[in-house]
Amino acid sequence: MSNLFLCPEHILQGGYFNATLRKLQEPNTSIQPHNIMYPVFLLENEDAMQAVSSMPNVFRYGINKLIPALEELVKQGLKSILIFGIVETLPKDPTGTSADASENPVIKALPRLREAFPELLLACDVCLCPYTSHGHCGVLTDKGVIDHEPSVKRIAEVALAYAKAGAHIVAPSDMMDNRIKGIKDALILNGLQNQVSVLSYSCKFASSMYGPFRDTMKSSPMAGDRKCYQLPPGSAGLAARAAARDVAEGADFLMVKPGLPYLDIVRQTKDQFPNHPLFIYQVSGEYAMISKSGDSKEVETILMETLTCMRRAGADCIITYFAPLILSIIKKQ
Ligand code: PB1
């Protein structure tokens, strides 16, 4: 064919035939340690270490086992963790009293983690479901539905307790309306508003991909489901309104959860609020799927492609159980 018939502006391959050129074509998609946050499960028994059967290479730790495990990861560059408390002897009751009890494993661990890892960013998940007898994320009326005001008050109390114990970030995963304002007001009243950030699980959907987590945490609802407070999977509109609500109430960071099936919501939220760092939570079901997607090399390739797509969609930080593997991949690179 004569060159006369080639349209120069339609010749793209000259722009990405080389690895460095390809990197230049993928702006803002690099994966560095500060772009990932590692969720960790904390048991009451300080010397325990239990494998999570539904999540290969994921463990539930007592603090005496978590610290050595984190020492290795911090050496490899780990920058932040998200802490989930699990109670086995502390009681579960209708208002989640154990969530902020002095014996709560999160409350007890925070000072020790602050001392052991002065540079590590400590975020705490704030929710009632691991601590309530009914397994819901809020307080219920006698008719078994979410009681809004007591739920917000209780979530704010728990967030404040974690802030006082040493959390740098409190991350309410409950999805109650107005809990961001409740938490922010509590931080301000206690002079902590400029030492503790609020990471809102703003766009969290009623997904079927939380199963392995709920098994690990024993945090499934005893009755009903969470569809009346987690967002309907098909609603981009509610996601936009939830993000706007939380920004207006003072959220420092926003989140979309789950991740991969909701990248359109990630892009929507990043475009809606470009100045708020945006987190993705790559949930337990996503972790299980990728973990079973092939041999170790295939898992690594699929994982890094997934993370690149999450960053391309607008995520600034990805909460992922793959953090140890990602750190080792980054080190190899
Ligand atoms: O990895 C996961 O599946 C995360 C599950 C998530 C933790 N923030 C919540 C989902 C759920 O069980 O509804 C826990 C709710 N507080």
Indicate whether residue 173 lines ligand 1 (CB < 6 A): yes
Indicate whether residue 322 lines ligand 1 (CB < 6 A): no
Indicate whether residue 219 lines ligand 1 (CB < 6 A): yes
Using a 10 angstrom Cβ sphere, with 0-12 exposed, 13-18 middle and 19 or more buried, the burial of residue 50 is: middle
pLDDT tier for residue 128 given thresholds of 50, 70 and 90: very high
Q: Is the pLDDT of residue 84 over 70?
A: yes
Number of neighbouring beta carbons within 10 Å of residue 76: 14
Q: Find the radius of gyration of the CA atoms of the chain.
A: 21
Nearest ligand 1 atom, CA 128 = 16
Atom 4 of ligand 1: nearest residue by CA position: 283
Q: Is the pLDDT of residue 20 over 70?
A: yes
pTM reported for the whole predicted model:
0.97
So what's the pLDDT on residue 4? 65
3-state secondary structure 145-161: CECHHHHHHHHHHHHHH
Q: How far apart are the C-alpha atoms of 328 and 320, rounded to whole Å?
A: 14
Domains of the chain with CATH codes = 3-332 (3.20.20.70)
pLDDT tens track for 302-326: 999 999 999 999 999 999 999 999 9
* CA 112–ligand 1 middle distance (angstroms): 25
Q: What is the mean pLDDT of residues 260-282?
A: 98
Atom 5 of ligand 1: nearest residue by CA position: 210
3-state secondary structure the chain: CCHHHCCHHHCCHHHCCCHHHHHHCCCCCCCCHHHEEEEEEECCCCCCEEECCCCCCCEEECHHHHHHHHHHHHHCCCCEEEEEECCCCCCCECCCHHHHCCCCHHHHHHHHHHHHCCCCEEEEEECCCCCECCCCCCCECCCCCECHHHHHHHHHHHHHHHHHHCCCEEEECCCCCCHHHHHHHHHHHCCCCCCCEEECCCEEECCCCCHHHHHHHCCCCCCCCCCCCCECCCCHHHHHHHHHHHHHCCCCEEEEECCHHHHHHHHHHHHHCCCCCEEEEECHHHHHHHHCCCCHHHHHHHHHHHHHHHHHHCCCEEEECCHHHHHHHHHHC
Indicate whether residue 226 lines ligand 1 (CB < 6 A): yes
So what's the pLDDT on residue 14? 94
So what's the pLDDT on residue 6? 77
* CA 210–ligand 1 middle distance (angstroms): 6
Q: Is the pLDDT of residue 55 over 70?
A: yes
So what's the pLDDT on residue 8? 84
So what's the pLDDT on residue 219? 84
So what's the pLDDT on residue 3? 64
User: Any idea which residues carry the catalytic annotation?
Assistant: 204, 257
pLDDT tier for residue 211 given thresholds of 50, 70 and 90: very high
Nearest ligand 1 atom, CA 210 = 3
Q: How far is CA 296 from CA 146, 231, 260, 301, in A?
A: 43, 34, 20, 9
Indicate whether residue 216 lines ligand 1 (CB < 6 A): no
pLDDT tens track for 226-254: 999 999 999 999 999 999 999 999 999 99
Q: Is the pLDDT of residue 275 over 70?
A: yes
Q: Is the pLDDT of residue 5 over 80?
A: no
pLDDT tier for residue 218 given thresholds of 50, 70 and 90: confident
Indicate whether residue 61 lines ligand 1 (CB < 6 A): no
What six digits make up the tokens of 14?
A: 């000259």
Q: How far apart are the C-alpha atoms of 293 and 302, rounded to whole Å?
A: 8
So what's the pLDDT on residue 2? 63
Indicate whether residue 127 lines ligand 1 (CB < 6 A): yes
Determine the residue of 82, 106, 214 to mutate for testing ligand 1's pocket, defined as the one with the most ligand atoms within 8 A of the Cβ atom.
214
Atom 6 of ligand 1: nearest residue by CA position: 210
Q: How far apart are the C-alpha atoms of 288 and 195, rounded to whole Å?
A: 35
pLDDT exceeding 70 applies to what percent of the chain? 98
Nearest ligand 1 atom, CA 212 = 3
* CA 255–ligand 1 middle distance (angstroms): 13
Q: Is the pLDDT of residue 170 over 70?
A: yes
